[in-house]
Structure 1
Amino acid sequence: MSTTSPMVTEYVVLVDDEGRAVGTSPKATVHTDRTPLHLAFSCYVFDSRGNVLITQRAGHKKTWPSVTTNSCCGHPAPDEDLGKAVVRRVNQELGIVVEAMRLLLPDFRYRAVMDDGTVENELCPVFGALYDGPAPVPNPDEVSRAEWIPWAEFVRFVDEGGAVSPWCREQLPHLRALGDEPSQWQTGRPEDLPEAARYLLDQA
């Protein structure tokens, strides 16, 4: 008798322009040339020396394969706490457990179109997290490479036209507006999150 577990269908939360949940859609099929607005998140992982963990997306990803981007992105499951979803996804993609996580950009939203017409269309709150543990172990299904670089060096790379994901490029000006030193950035207000987002973690 086979012991193989059945595939579990993952769902994303669909939202309206006001950030209210209006339904769900299978994650595997939501990204098309008519992708509906849905809930996501981005995370920038820093160490105590001011470095940021930059990743390269796996080459077989449906959207922006092999592109350089921030530490981690993902989608909360329906009814999943958004902060816990970030912790879960960082661990799944990079094999690490982040701490001292905080909300940075509660209302970030973007839309981007790939050359083949595939659309990303997300309400995407942005988080920062601290990690000083062992080296990350990227999951090859999601990430082909991960490296630590000084935050200022990454900012210069993007400013000078370095190729990064469209969401990362759009997030950078908002993050830079928070100040030059990530450890001193002001924490965003949970009440500014989309209504569909649940953020219950301690922000201390």
Structure 2
Amino acid sequence: MPITPANGLSADTAAVPAPDDSAEPIMLELVDEDGRTIGTAEKLSAHIAPGRLHRAFSVFLFDDEGRLLLQRRALEKYHSPGVWSNTCCGHPYPGEPPFVAAARRTGEELGIAPALMREAGTVRYNHPDPDSGLVEQEYNHLFVGIVRAEPRPAPEEIAETAFVTPDELDTLRARYPFSAWFMTVLDAARPAVREVTGDAAGW
């Protein structure tokens, strides 16, 4: 699927099909404050206020020019639809290593495999989503890497993508809504981001 200019940024748009209500419930891994597994819960129930602390991951991929690959979430996603966010985020299956889950979902959502991906620490947060009323209580594993392939987003997951510089990110954030967790995970990942992109990229 070709990348086309949109608002001065590299972007891709697609129609979003209706969700499949017949799918089996997705189970998440519940954890304690130290990230130790303590059980499982169905995905939606874990996000109903006040939320249950669960394992998650966030991926930040950059091109060779040091631009961050963003995605705008599909308009029919039940949680934070239509907002911009980091390259990929999600939840490991119970027992699935976070690195494996991050690589798997990057492929499923964006149709690409990172040329390089490394761990970038963890961050724990509690972010309510004011629009949906759902809550992100997450112990989030961070990953940073390089991408050299052209994204081919899955339309049921992603409405649009864009590669941005730090200045372009500031402009985008001033004009459009971003996920509640975006700046928390980006700030936590910045030391690893700077190692991967170099100081000249400005992250």
Question: Same-fold call, TM > 0.5?
Answer: yes
Equivalent in 177, 197, 200 of residue 163 of structure 1: 177
Structure 2 residue aligned with 1:147 = 162
**Residue of structure 1 in register with 2:187 after alignment:** 173
Q: Secondary structure at the match of 2:99?
A: helix
- The whole-number CA distance in structure 1 between the counterparts of 2:114 and 2:192 is 21
Q: Does 1:41 align with 2:57?
A: yes
Number of residues of Structure 1 aligned to a counterpart in Structure 2: 177
Percent identical among aligned pairs is: 32
Q: Tell me which residue corresponds to 1:108.
A: 123
Greater fraction strand: 2
Following superposition, the deviation at residue 82 of structure 1 comes to 1.2
Matches within 5 A, 1:39-118: 39-104=55-120, 106-115=121-130, 116-118=132-134
> What is the rounded CA distance, in whole Å, between the counterparts of 1:63 and 1:162 in structure 2?
17
The answer on 1:124 being equivalent to 2:144 is no
- The separation in 2 between residues aligned to 1:45 and 1:128, in whole angstroms, is 6
Deviations 1:84-128 (A, max 9, x none): 110100011111111310111x22111111224211110112111
- How far, CA to CA, are the matches of 1:16 and 1:175 in structure 2? 21
Q: Give 1:167 shift.
A: 1.2
Find the aligned partners of 1:41 and 1:180 in 2 and give their Cα distance.
19
Runs of 4+ in 1 over 6 A off after TM superposition: none
Q: 1:49 to 1:107 in 2, by over 3 A?
A: same
TM-score normalised according to structure 2 size: 0.77
Specify every segment of 5 or more residues in structure 1 that has no aligned partner in the other structure, as ranges.
1-5, 186-204
SS at 2:184 equivalent? helix
AA paired with 1:85? A
Please list every run of 5 or more consecutive structure 2 residues that lacks an aligned counterpart in the other structure: 1-21
Secondary structure at the aligned position of 2:58 is classed as: strand
Superimposed CA distance per residue, residues 155-174 of structure 1 (whole angstroms, 9 cap, x where no aligned partner): 5654x586321211223333
Contact 1:155–1:172 under 8 Å retained in 2: no
Mapped contact 1:41–1:75 kept (Cα < 8 A): yes
One-letter code of the match for 1:109? R
TM-score (ref. length: structure 1): 0.77
Counterpart of 1:183? 197
Aligned partner of 2:40 among 24, 28, 31: 24
